[in-house]
Chains A and B, each alone.
Chain A
């Protein structure tokens, strides 16, 4: 008599009781289904968002380091504080000097000036981002020419009106055939210029830096000479950003320190009037943001799991009250207090585990269903985390055991004779 009733018997009784109150059991279980399902879906969405941002940053290129003018406007002409990236401390000369500096681990250098411009076509104007840069840019940023050529050293030297198009803009402007050799009119501010298309870039696609497909590229000297950008105190035209590519396996921290020291010396300042950030820095920042998002989403889902658990406990308490006579009878025919506990805990566990399994199926289904779809103008990416399934299921089972044990304890404490007398 030392053993409890067999698991099989306990399960049989539990399923019978659950089936006897079909609708009620279903509604109770629904709380667990929603709880477990939402944990899986929300964590998948959070992880998907994280992956999306990371892919985008990785898609910028490989082993990239960005130098940008300091936001605190360390410009020698003593102007007001500039907006972020709006400083004027970096020049093409800086980029050229870096390229010839021989700093260990530095593979490529490409300065860039970006501007918003209008492409004037017969069908109307279209806004594009113009990047003024040097021939090193495609290698540094990890993009390739699909047709024609990129900007050459000759283009930079002669300040030519040659232009290279991103794949998307090329397809929009010249849908009927090759863009190479075509003429293009571009207006920046008051200036209108006629460019000749010399190349089209390969598509980068949505997985990477998709925005690059809509860029157009011209020689950095052309944008400086024809469009007339800001000159700093020494008469140099400033650039928005200098892109560096590190050697694969290079010590990036060391490289950043070397580049920073080099430019401080070159600018003859005591503290850096620019910032140097690696791709890893950007990744780190974005990972932190999306981790916070994941935690937030996970907490919301966790709360709904707990609410579901309370629902189960509530129903189990009702069930104990309703079945007082049954409990009394079972006690009268030989069930021990432990047997009654087993019975009700098994029942609560069966409800929660059943709900948990259903929740996993629905959660995984929804997460897979919304992956790659566009919802409210957002491209949804979901990454189902196996651990989220185990955690959600484990918590569901734990809640089942917990929410079943108090009602079960109450049931086992019923005085058999009182229980039998209850009408």
Chain B
């Protein structure tokens, strides 16, 4: 079944972004990883998303040892399973919203790209901004484009690195609402990295990190999720 477990341990590195971390994440969880900057939370997310490889220890995704995969296999896994939302949105400046959302589909040889991209944009409430370029949109809209771009490939896991970091509180809430609904309605696992307690409060499980170690792992009742 969808048993995502991972075990990561840095070796003898002087700067150990992650230092002997054990963590198991279940399918459909909404988990927030919290910590001050430099606590290793971003590194953790990169490893989880198969962008980065552990220098020691093991990371199993659905039973496969990611550390032993080559670059292409990891790209395939990344492309097939994970969606990313970044703090800086990471939109390409020259493309309009619909092209941004189509981008992942280009690398998956998907048909009906335009239709699916439109559906994803409508799902994040940007049906009327399809032809806008990033510079013509607010931060919240840009972040929603980024989420749509993630959503369009039907990911099983969404990794969000400080998704509200560059947004004001109100737009941040909107974005969090969208992420929470993905968990509820689509059963997508959302892993959120943040240093804001108010943002982490949206999640049903909060993992606190310090100096590359997990110092706290709290589960809260599902009804507490906004």
Task: Assess whether A325 is in contact with B107, with CB atoms less than 8 Å apart.
Answer: no
A-B contact count (CB 8 A): 60
| B78 to A, closest residue via Cβ | A334
Binary interface profile of B, 51-74, with partner A (CB < 8 Å = 1, else 0)? Answer: 110000000000000000001100
**Does B72 contact A20, Cβ atoms closer than 8 Å?**
no
Known: A1-B76, A416-B51, A417-B51. A334 touches B107 (CB 8 A): yes
Q: How far is the CB of B189 from chain A (nearest CB, A)?
A: 17
Interface size on B, residues (CB 8 A): 23
List residues 312-357 of chain A with CB under 8 A from any CB of chain B. 325-326, 328-339
B108 at the A/B interface (Cβ < 8 Å)?
yes
Q: Does A16 contact B (CB under 8 A)?
A: yes
* Per-position binary interface string of chain A over residues 236-253, scored 1 when its CB falls under 8 Å from any chain B CB and 0 otherwise: 000000000000000000
Chain A residues with CB below 8 A from B76, complex form: 1, 336
Which one, A326, A328, A334, A416, contacts B108 given CB within 8 A?
Answer: A334
Known: A3-B109, A330-B107. A335 touches B90 (CB 8 A): no
| A332–B52 alpha-carbon span in the complex (Å) | 11
Q: Contacts of A331 on B, CB cut-off 8 Å? A: 51, 75
Q: A1-B79, A333-B149, A334-B153 are contacts. A339–B51 as well, Cβ < 8 Å?
A: no
Q: Are A337 and B75 in contact (CB under 8 A)?
A: yes
Residue on A with the closest CB to B71? A337
Q: Would you call the interface of chain A mostly helix, strand, loop, or mixed?
A: helix
* Most B C-beta atoms less than 10 A away, residue of A1, A334, A415, A420: A334
Cross-chain contact of B109 among A5, A16, A416, A417 (Cβ < 8 A): A5
Q: Is the CB of A332 within 8 A of B78?
A: yes
Q: Which listed residue (A3, A336, A417) contacts B75, Cβ 8 A? A: A336
Closest chain B CB from A373 CB (angstroms): 46
Chain B residues within an 8 Å CB radius of A5: 106-107, 109
Q: Are B79 and A334 in contact (CB under 8 A)?
A: yes
A residues near B86, Cβ cutoff 8 Å? 420
Q: In the complex, A331→B49 CA distance in Å?
A: 12
Interface residue from B46, B72, B94, B107 paired with A16 (Cβ < 8 Å) = B94
B84 at the interface (CB under 8 A from A): yes
From 152 to 199 in chain B, residues with beta carbon under 8 angstroms from any chain A beta carbon are: 153
**Closest-CB distance, A343 to chain B (whole angstroms):** 10
Whether, in the assembled complex, B103 has its beta carbon less than 8 Å from a beta carbon of chain A, the answer is yes
Please measure, in the bound complex, the distance between the C-alpha atom of A184 and the C-alpha atom of B92, giving whole angstroms. Answer: 88
CB neighbours (8 Å) of B109 from chain A are: 1, 3, 5-6
Asked if B104 is an interface residue, CB under 8 A from chain A, the answer is yes
Of chain B, the residue at the smallest CB distance from A19 is B94
Task: Indicate whether A9 reaches chain B with its CB closer than 8 angstroms.
Answer: yes
User: Closest Cβ of chain B: how far from A270's Cβ, in Å?
Assistant: 83
Q: Report A-chain residues with C-beta under 8 Å of the C-beta of B46.
A: 417
A326 in complex: contacting residue of B84, B92, B104, CB < 8 Å: B92
In the bound complex, residues from chain B placing their C-beta under 8 Å from that of A335 are 75, 107
Chain B positions near chain A (C-beta within 8 angstroms): 46, 49, 51-52, 71-72, 75-76, 78-79, 84, 86, 90, 92, 94, 103-104, 106-109, 149, 153
| Chain A interfacial positions (CB closer than 8 Å to B) | 1, 3, 5-6, 9, 16, 20, 325-326, 328-339, 415-417, 420
What are 29 A-B pairs at a CB distance below 8 A? A1-B76, A1-B109, A5-B109, A9-B106, A16-B94, A20-B94, A325-B90, A326-B92, A330-B107, A331-B51, A331-B75, A332-B49, A333-B84, A333-B103, A333-B107, A333-B149, A334-B78, A334-B79, A334-B104, A334-B153, A335-B107, A336-B71, A336-B75, A337-B72, A415-B52, A416-B51, A417-B52, A420-B86, A420-B90
